[in-house]
Amino acid sequence: MWTLDQLEPEIDDIRLRIHQHRRALKEYFVARDEEVDLAILCAVAQEPLLLVGPPGTAKSDLVVKLTESLGLGEGDYFEYMLTKFTEPSEILGPIDIGVLKEGRYVRRTRGMLPDCRVAFLDEIFKSNSAILNTLLTILNERKFYQDGQPTPVKLVMLFAATNDIPDQSELEAMADRFILKIETRPVKDRFFAELIDAGVMNEAYRAAGQKPWARGAAALADFLKLKRFMDLTFALSREPGRDRERWFPRPVFAEMRRIVRALETEDKVMVSDRKLVKLYKLIRTQAFLNHGGAVQTQDLNLLAYVGNRRDELAVVAAKVKALLGLGAGG
């Protein structure tokens, strides 16, 4: 595993490559800059991202192009559309019959979710309780159980999509694991011609067997190194408040507190204690990724994506951007 001394000499170059990677990926989408920005950030921070919107709004296309641009090896990417009938074996792997005869309950995970580095799960909330419980363990602890024993998974990036966020108590725990959620809306009314032109071009690339977006400036290793660098940076602040004092200016921190309180008191959008800590680290990571230093007011734009229910997403996004003076496209 990389040390801070090993990472520091190259960290600015890594940031630059990820910047270039993000900018290049945006060229293949119309009006999806926010989605790309969040996908890249969550890829760096290794936090799951939930894309919420109707079919045909580039949710899966974004994830596919991102993963193709990372130069993943065979078996490093897994995707699946979940339903209430999905069996655990369909995502975790089939039971090894030979080992079962010996009295052990072990799955063959090659090419399945526990063995991949990046995963995309479509219609995640349509899965049954057995799948949801397994996914919660993977998200929380980065492990699943083989023959009753915890086994680490290789997963570092998880993207999920849904047409809606059902208002059901049994799904709250899963929804809460997605710190950031973004609503993907149709853009044809505003970008009619641009959408057609881009769609025709992308289909032409596919038909010709070409993937120009796959020539990414950054590789998976760059994302892993930046995540490791941030983890080591957080670990340097062994006393409470040291990280915040160094990287989060007091006026900006006060603004973050003001916005969170406004969301909770005025809009009843609850931010759990666990989510608040995750948000702090995500904002810090975004600040370092974007400009290599302390958090600035514009980095608080991540608070626009903390809505929990579908009906909260647009309300929260508009309110946070207005409070920060970022406007609708901020």
Beta-sheet pairing, 143-146 with 149-152: antiparallel
User: Position of tokens 């290793």?
Assistant: 221
pLDDT value, residue 327: 64
pLDDT value, residue 30: 96
Helix (H, G, I), strand (E, B) or coil at 172: helix
For the entire predicted model, the pTM comes to 0.95
Phi, psi of 285 (to 5 degrees): -65, -45
Beta bridge partners of 181: 50
Q: Is 329 exposed, middle or buried (0-12, 13-18, 19+ CB in 10 A)?
A: exposed
The number of residues in the chain equals 330
- Residue 179 contacts residue 279 (beta carbons within 8 Å): yes
User: Position of tokens 């915040």?
Assistant: 244
pLDDT value, residue 215: 84
* Cα–Cα distance measured from residue 275 to residue 82, given in angstroms and rounded to the nearest whole number: 26
pLDDT digits (tens, 9 = 90+) for 8-61: 999 999 999 999 999 999 999 999 999 999 999 999 999 999 999 999 999 999
Q: Residue 205 is encoded by which pair of tokens? A: 């690339």
Q: Which of 41, 59, 211, 210 is nearest to 124 (CA)?
A: 59
- Residue 62 contacts residue 182 (beta carbons within 8 Å): no
* Cα–Cα distance measured from residue 319 to residue 142, given in angstroms and rounded to the nearest whole number: 34
pLDDT digits (tens, 9 = 90+) for 260-297: 999 999 999 999 999 999 999 999 999 999 999 999 99
Q: Residue 265 is encoded by which pair of tokens? A: 């008191």
* Cα–Cα distance measured from residue 206 to residue 188, given in angstroms and rounded to the nearest whole number: 22
Provide the residue ranges of all domains of the chain, joining segments of one domain with +: 4-214, 237-323
CATH number of the domain at 4-214, out of 3.20.20.105, 4.10.490.10, 3.20.20.20, 3.40.50.300?
3.40.50.300
Q: Residue 196 is encoded by which pair of tokens? A: 């057609």
Element (H, E) at 85: none
* Cα–Cα distance measured from residue 35 to residue 161, given in angstroms and rounded to the nearest whole number: 12
Q: Residue 78 is encoded by which pair of tokens? A: 């897994």
pLDDT value, residue 26: 95
Rounded to the nearest 10 degrees, how much is the dihedral formed by the CA atoms of 246, 223, 11, 274? 10
Q: Residue 249 — very low, low, confident or very high, per pLDDT cuts 50/70/90?
A: very high
* Cα–Cα distance measured from residue 277 to residue 272, given in angstroms and rounded to the nearest whole number: 9
Residue 328, pLDDT above cutoff 60: no
How far CA 201 is from CA of 58, 61, 178, 283, in Å, comes to 15, 14, 33, 35
